[in-house]
Amino acid sequence: QVQLVESGGGLVPTGGSLRLSCAASGSIFTINSMGWYRQAPGKERELVATLSHTIGNIRYSESVKGRFTISRDSAPNTVSLQMNSLQSEDTAVYYCNADIVTWDTRSRSSYWGQGTQVTVSS
C-alpha cells in the first residue's frame, strides 16, 4: 500500500507565493515519477507539473511555466511545487500524483493524494 500526503496549501493574495509538498510512503520499490495536478470548480483535473525520477525530465503546463517550479526534496520520496506570482486562475484543489512500483506486486500503479486547497484572493 502507498500513501501520498500533501501539505502547504492555503489562502494567498494575488502575486503571492506558496510551496506545496508531497511525501510518498509505504511499500515503495521504486518511484518512476511524481507530479501535481489541479482541479478548479466546474473544470476537469489538469496537469500542472511532473518530474521523472528515472530520467529527470520535467514537464509544466503552459499556464504555469516560468511561475511554478517542481523539485525533489532532500527528504526521501518527496517532491515540492514552488508557486510564485499566483493568480486567481490558479485557485484549485491541487493533487499529488505518483507513478510507483510496489514491493508486493512489482507492477506500476498511479497513486493520488487527498488534495490540498489553494485559494488566490484578488
Instruction: Provide the phi-psi class of 10: left if phi over 0, else alpha when psi is between -120 and 50, else beta.
Output: left
How far apart are the C-alpha atoms of 60 and 19, rounded to whole Å? 16
Q: What is the distance, to the nearest Å, from the Cα of residue 33 to the centroid of all Cα atoms in its chain?
A: 11
Would you say the C-alpha torsion 97, 101, 102, 107 has a positive or negative sign? positive
Amino acid 74: pLDDT? 87
pLDDT in tens, 75-87: 889 999 999 999 9
C-alpha cell at 78: 518527496
Amino acid 12: pLDDT? 97
Local structure of 89: helix, strand or coil: helix
Local structure of 76: helix, strand or coil: coil
For the chain, which ranges sit under pLDDT 70?
none
